[in-house]
Chains A and B, each alone.
Chain A
């Protein structure tokens, strides 16, 4: 009989990390991380758009910072968080309501593929103007 592993409550992070993880566990972990990131972003978003109340000049000056290449790339990466949380969310709904427990691993693989494609497509939407400038 294999050694029974006692749950070490003091080092629960370490213990949890030591477990073997399949796609479902990674989906669960990443869903939490992306979710916390997105709600944090929503708070920042409401704060950062509040200068709308102060009129055109104040808002445009404020937004100059966010139109820089650095922030545009950050916004693109944020879309990766959005995509993972969205597609995995759909996967969760299918598992709950459409017998998805039978095919949740396939769903995970499809979400990753669809997610990567949508991420690249959004990259084109966001940077198409820069790309066109490069080749004109």
Chain B
């Protein structure tokens, strides 16, 4: 009897999610670029970063950016590899490298953001 094949395991989730993350990343990326280059200082000095990171909204935004960007990027790289006939040991090797690299750098980025101290006083002034 004919067995109905559903879409599970066919990669359709990653296909949809690649588009959704892509659309979110477009918005964040343009904003990020304008913000980081609005003045020569805004993206290139510690104090500017420190001031931004007093807001948890910025922290959450940057964390989202890292996680979504890394997922979208590495899923894209995997998509390129998947265009070629791979032997199963090659598949396992490539996926392992991508996941390990991705996790390591994502955690590194998250740590960098979370390590930035909160220095704001109740009056809203930065303590230097």
CB within 8 Å of B: which residues of A?
32, 35-36, 38-39, 42-43, 46-47, 49-50, 52-53, 55-56, 59-60, 63, 66-67, 75, 79, 82, 86, 89-90, 92-93, 96-97, 122, 125-126, 129
> Which residues of chain A come closer than 8 Å to B50, judged between CB atoms?
56
Contact yes or no, B73 A129, CB < 8 A: no
Q: Which residues of B contact A86 (CB under 8 A)?
A: 25-26, 29-30
Report A133 CB to chain B, min CB distance, Å: 11
Fill in one digit per residue for B33-45: 1 if any A CB lies within 8 Å of its CB, else 0: 1100111100011
Partner-contacting stretch, out of B2-10, B88-96, B108-116? B108-116
- Could you say which of A39, A60, A89, A125 has the most chain B C-beta atoms within 10 Å of its C-beta? A39
Cβ B29 vs Cβ A50 within 8 A: no
User: Taking chain A's interface residues, is the majority helix, strand, or loop, or is none over half, making it mixed?
Assistant: helix
A52 and B74 in contact, given A46-B108, A90-B23, A122-B37 (Cβ under 8 angstroms): no
CA distance A90 to B78 in the complex (A): 20
* Contact A126-B37, Cβ < 8 Å, known A42-B69, A52-B49, A93-B19: yes
Q: A39–B98 Cα gap in the complex (Å)?
A: 11
Report which of B30, B44, B111 forms a contact with A53, defined as CB distance below 8 A. Answer: B111
A34 CB, min distance to chain B CBs, angstroms: 10
Pairwise interchain contact A35-B76, C-beta atoms closer than 8 A: yes
Q: Is B66 an interface residue (CB 8 A)?
A: yes
Contact of B73 among A39, A92, A122 (CB under 8 A): A39
Contacts of A42 in B (CB 8 A): 69-70, 73, 105
| B46→A38 contact, CB < 8 A | no
A60 x B45 contact (CB < 8 A): yes
Chain B residue numbers with a CB within 8 Å of A47 are 105, 108
Across the interface, A63 reaches (CB within 8 A) one of B26, B45, B101, B112, namely: B45
Is B80 part of the binding interface, using a Cβ–Cβ cutoff of 8 Å? yes
Smallest CB-CB A-B distances: 4 pairs: A39-B73, A56-B46, A46-B109, A53-B115
Sample of 6 more A-B contacts, CB < 8 Å, known A35-B80, A67-B40:
A42-B73, A63-B44, A89-B23, A92-B22, A97-B19, A125-B37
**C-alpha gap A122/B111 in the complex (Å):** 30
From known contacts A32-B80, A46-B108, A75-B37, infer whether A52 and B116 are also in contact, taking CB-CB under 8 Å.
yes
Knowing A53-B115, A56-B46, A90-B26, the reply to whether A46 touches B105 (Cβ < 8 A) is yes
